[in-house]
Each structure stands twice: as C-alpha cells, then as structure tokens.
Copies of this chain bind each other. A is one copy, B any other.
C-alpha cells in the first residue's frame, strides 16, 4: 500500500496519517498493521512511567535529545516518542499540551513526538500504543520511547511493553511508597530519581536500594538507581548508559528475545480477549435475557457466563 511505502521511505506526513488511522481504529488500520508487521521489530523500545510531577516529560525530552545527538539513532534519523494522556474527564487533555511543550522544548529536531489520549482507545491503550510504536518502528524511528503518567494498570501495561522500562520518581512527590504499592516498582529495569538536587533524594535512593535487597530476583539484572536533574540535563549521559547496559544485558543473557516473545504473546492474548468481549457486547439481546435470569435468581452469574460462552463461541 502506498501509505506504508511512503512512511517506510521516511515521509513524515505519511507516518502521521498512518498513526492517526491506527489510533482511531479505522477500518484500514488492520491492513496497515498487517503490512507493517514484518518491518516492525527493529527499534529498541523504552517505556517510561511514574507518578505525576516526577518530571517525566522533561526527562523524556532531554533523553531523546541525548539519543539523537549522540548519533545512536540508526533509523531515519529520529527518535520516536509516544506520550499517553490519562485523559480523566476532570482534567480533560489539559495536561497533555504542557507535557508536549516540555518535551519539544527539551528535544532535538530529530525527535518525532506523538501524543495519544487513552480515553476512547479502542482495544485498550496498551494495545494501541504498541500498534503506534510498530508504525514508528517501520518508519525507521529508533529508539521509541513510550511515556505514560500514573500508576494505574493501564499505565503499567504501556510501560512494560518495552525492552527497557524506566520508573521515574522524585524526592518531593512523596509517592515513593504509594507507587510501590500500586505495583509500578516491580516493572522497573532502571529507576530514575529525578530532581535529585532536592531534599530527600538521598533518603529515597536508600529506600529503593533497600527494597531491591529484599526483592526476589527474577533476573541477574539488578535495576540501578540513576540520579538526574532533567531540567539542567544532569545525569542524562549516565542514564543513557544505564539503558545501554540493560540492553547489553538483555542481549547477552538471552532475555531480549524471551521478553519480546512474552510481550507478543501477551499482546495476542489481549486481542483474543477483546474480540470475545466485542462478541459478548454484540450478543446484545441474548445477554440481556440471561442477565434477567440472573437478576431473578434463576441462574448464577457463573452458569450464565457458561451459557453465553457456548453461544458466542459458535
């Protein structure tokens, strides 16, 4: 398809349009994704998450600039960034504009930034983000950084759909312990202690390290705790090196392929589940009848589910 040929040739408008189609779940998006797939496994993918206010957007901006200017960008000369907006009905997309401006201010020209609203993402934000990353990947963007705010399951799912996952914390956010509870601490390959010039940075670093001491190791990789001051560009070279070291570890340990395989499997599983959910929703009237029976106490939820399963599986 011409659109795919064009974006693979490095044409930015074609890339932007393909992303929009994929993001909106346009009917042509499936054909785009199928055609792109064989060309979409080259880019190194970096996931970034952490509590709001930790300075992730600025960090992503300067990190992208670092990658771009260090000549470590192999593709069409650009780093790809996907910024996912939590889009609460309260905040609307108000935050996103600020974040994009922060990234743009910090980043090099050779950085392709794309924002995405999580609300209304058909098939879930983690799926859509990975599909958009595939499109960027096929267009030669490398590395691709996927940034998301918050500690919800959706955010965690986005951030872990990466080769290297950064969890960004700041001493002042006071969220360290909470973030841990919400499970985002477990997905970090590299901890970034941003705003490390502020009070409490030392204490937070010790806190993280001591938790790591107690963690059951699932890998021989121990996540390093990198201190940065993103606004002043401090610690960014070292952070880029830590990401590089994790990449080397993945390659030499064989975890690289294993991780990618697992990710792919999880992704396929999610598509299967979503397809079933869509069938469940479209079973409409029949589902309503069964819900009525459950309401009346004539059927248990489990038995109703069994019956629906038999019917939608046909």
Question: Which residues of A come within 8 Å of B, CB atoms?
Answer: 30, 33-34, 36-39, 41, 51-52, 86, 88-91, 149-154, 174-175, 177-178, 180-183, 185-186, 211, 214-216, 257, 260-261, 264-265, 267-269, 271-273, 275-277, 280-281, 287, 290-291, 294-295, 297-306, 308-309, 312-314
- Report if A303-B52 is in contact (Cβ < 8 Å); known contacts: A88-B181, A186-B89, A313-B313: no
Q: How far is the CA of A273 from the CA of B269 in the complex (A)?
A: 11
Query: This chain: how many copies in the complex?
Result: 2
Q: How far is the CA of A305 from the CA of B185 in the complex (A)?
A: 30
Q: How far is the CA of A25 from the CA of B182 in the complex (A)?
A: 24
B273→A273 contact, CB < 8 A: yes
Q: How far is the CB of A305 from chain B (nearest CB, A)?
A: 4
- Residue of chain B at shortest CB distance from A275: B309
- Report if A308-B182 is in contact (Cβ < 8 Å); known contacts: A265-B287, A295-B261, A301-B264: no
Q: How far is the CA of A267 from the CA of B181 in the complex (A)?
A: 26
- Report if A272-B268 is in contact (Cβ < 8 Å); known contacts: A183-B88, A215-B89, A300-B33: no
- Report if A151-B153 is in contact (Cβ < 8 Å); known contacts: A86-B181, A291-B265: no
Q: How far is the CB of A45 from chain B (nearest CB, A)?
A: 15
B186→A88 contact, CB < 8 A: yes
Known: A38-B297, A272-B276, A272-B308. 9 other contacts (CB 8 A): A37-B294, A52-B178, A86-B183, A149-B181, A174-B174, A268-B304, A268-B308, A272-B309, A313-B314
Q: How far is the CA of A216 from the CA of B89 in the complex (A)?
A: 8
**Which residues of chain B come closer than 8 Å to A214, judged between CB atoms?**
90
**Which of A52, A174, A264 lies at the interface centre, i.e. has the most chain B CB atoms within 10 A of its CB?**
A264
**Which residues of chain B come closer than 8 Å to A91, judged between CB atoms?**
180-181
**Which residues of chain B come closer than 8 Å to A280, judged between CB atoms?**
269, 272-273
- Residue of chain B at shortest CB distance from A30: B302
